Structure 1
Amino acid sequence: MSDAITPQLLLSAYAAGVFPMAESSTSDVLHWVDPQRRGIFDLDSFHISRSLSRRIARGGYSIRTNYDFEGVVAACADREETWINAEIFALYKALHQAGFAHSLEVWETEHLVGGVYGVAIGGAFFGESMFSRRTDASKLALAWLVHRLRAGGFTLFDAQFITPHLASLGAIEISRSAYHERLKQALPLDATFDPAGYAPTAQSVMQRKIQTS
């Protein structure tokens, strides 16, 4: 790992609105990125289509959080082109061990079939990457994650770059200045990835309601 980048520096970078990327899995150089146009999810406007609602309700899967964080990162990196190199992997593993990086995972029995991971600071969640080994598994992960973030008091869900897949789920693109303003408002909040009494059900996730016990 480069001496120049530490987990603490990475947290400071997120708080300043930038994030790292490598050119490829074999590259030993990281670049700081602060896009002119930023992809985000409005947590109150996440789009759950009829087909996704049916998939959520059909079941046959379980949701776990932080059960196999490294497995999620490894699965996200397991593609022909990836910005996750060894240094990125080590940095996020360290952030996970420190309680800042989290994964939400979709399991079929004991098989990890989808998931998403990211970094939480204050009321901001910085989504890093997701993967799917089954149809709609990444959509399931996002739906359950958005519900959890709302329950935990988050106000900003950073998706970094907009894609047609994310746009179909309600992601929008905003300017750099608008993003930094939202970030400034979110950072001081006391949000949590594991809210007390949080007990989501498929029905509550489909309706975007928050259920606690």
Structure 2
Amino acid sequence: MTRSSEAEPATLSKGKGEGRSAKALRLRDPKLTSARILAAAKSEFARKGLAGARVDAIATRAKINKRMIYHYFKSKEELYLAVLEEAYGDLRRAERLVDFAGREPEDAFVALIEFTWNYYRQNPELLRLIVTENIHQARYLKRSKKIREMHSPFVALIGELLERGVRQGVFRDGIDPNQLYISIAALGFYYLNNRWTLSVIYGVDLGAEPEMEKRRVVMVETILSYLRRP
């Protein structure tokens, strides 16, 4: 029986076989193969949700045999959870590239607000995945062994910035780091996820760049007003 290209031997005869051999080697690279599957799955789940997404479509988009998806991720649900973890992980990794700790507390929060806003704008698939998982009441995210480990250091950093701001007499005391970050995320998340309906309701194109800039300013001013001592 002829074996699929994913299972082809690495050593093939020269000529046409060289191209097939290179393809087989690429597909046998676990990290590369996994990354291709996750990228294709992220797009499919973001567009169609968990119920509407099809493994066949993911395989076609990834240019890979469907059985390889089950080899790496066992089931569509496991693949969906891996996509969620990867999406949150990408956000946390991008945050680590910004030097929040090395800034003065107020400047650090301005940077965080603007980073969050810009990241959401540039990664709409993350927002759609979060909406999908909330529809499922976080049923799949609850299975994750990684998600809290990803977020804990970042929440700790926010707590440290708040404490430093309090010591400097810039921020008021008693602010919950979790509640603060939820507010920062919500100010951008709600706007971006609902801008089409809100644009109709208010008769303004909230997706236009001038309106987006207004929103950024409102987010910064709202959070800083909340943080500052009266």
TM tier relative to shorter chain: under 0.3
Tell which has more relative contact order, 1 or 2 (C-alpha 8 A, sep 6+): 1
Structure with more strand by fraction? 1
Q: TM-score, normalised by structure 2?
A: 0.25
Q: Normalization by structure 1: what TM-score? A: 0.27
Structure with the higher helix share, 1 or 2: 2
